[in-house]
Amino acid sequence: MNAEGRFWKATPGHARTPDDKHDDELAGEALTRPPLLPRRIYGLLSLGVLALAGWLLATTWTDVRYALRVFGGEVVDLGDLRVRHRTEPRLDLPSDLHVKFRNAIVTYEAGSAEGGYNFFYSPLYRLIVRTRQDFPAKRTGHTFQIEDHLVEMIGKHEIEPVDLTSGFDGEGRLYRATELPEVATSLLTYYAPGIRVPLEEVYVVLDGETPAAGWPYLALWLVALVSIGLNVRVLARLARAR
């Protein structure tokens, strides 16, 4: 066979050279390229993301459950606390309720060292309140009539007459002191020695923490669930590749 028979020039539409590869062949080559990281590293990273996402879901579930009440949960209206106290001197409510109230008596006012939050104790219903609101101004030298059910509390110095010249309205998340999350236990550390009542009778209100304010927890859960779905898919692909 002569040289002309062994070597010839390819023309368009005629024959293929080694460089003329179909897309399916190129795709096959792409699949066989070495990954940027070993598969084991990808698997370990995916497992780490799954563990982190699972931990976030577990530790924030109560906050997410509370935030979901924005889609239909009811607020427990305690009403005017001074009026309610005439006929109902004790509360008996579960923890983690969305409540609102009016006319709470403000005593033992305090503020956080870093600013941002104010705190007070309301002897009616043994409420410790954390709020971002300013304290209502009390009026000295003001004459007013004291209701009978409050006279005894004044006699025991649980409240002073001047404390009755203002009232606080709030709305937020109610906890029993014995079931308070760790993030708010510093309130008990500060107030418990001064109020000298059994913790079983004390409630804590985180004013402003309504279900609508819990949207960051819902966003966090959405991100965590998407991450779980993506990484489960990665692990499944790695398993098939093996």
Residue in this structure with the two tokens 């293929």, named with its chain if needed: 16
Predicted TM-score (pTM) above 0.75: no
Sign of torsion over alpha carbons 184, 187, 193, 194: negative
Please say whether the beta carbons of 103 and 147 come within 8 A.
no
Q: How far apart are CA 228 and CA 71, in angstroms?
A: 25
pLDDT by position in tens, the chain (length 242): 555 545 445 455 555 555 555 555 545 544 455 555 567 776 788 888 888 888 888 888 888 889 998 888 889 999 999 999 988 988 999 999 999 999 999 999 998 766 689 999 999 899 999 999 999 988 877 677 788 888 888 888 888 888 998 999 999 999 999 998 887 888 888 888 888 788 889 999 999 999 998 888 888 888 888 888 888 888 788 777 76
- What are the φ and ψ backbone dihedral angles of 7, each rounded to 5 degrees? -125, 130
Whole-angstrom Cα distance, residue 35 to residue 144? Answer: 81
pLDDT digits (tens, 9 = 90+) for 48-63: 888 888 888 888 888 8
* CA dist., res. 226 & res. 221, Å (int): 9
Interatomic CA distance for residues 181 and 206, integer angstroms: 11
SS3 content of the chain, % helix, strand, coil (to 5): 50, 15, 35
Q: Do 217 and 60 meet the contact criterion of CB atoms below 8 Å apart?
A: yes
Domain layout of the chain by residue ranges: 73-212
End-to-end CA distance of the chain: 48
- C-alpha 135: how far from its chain's center? 26
- Would you say 128 and 119 are in contact if contact means Cβ atoms under 8 Å apart? yes
Identity of the amino acid at 150: L
Please check whether residue 231 is in contact with residue 223, taking contact to mean a CB–CB distance below 8 angstroms. Answer: no
Closest CA to 71 of 98, 36, 44: 98
- pLDDT tens sequence across 213-239: 888 888 888 888 888 888 888 878 877
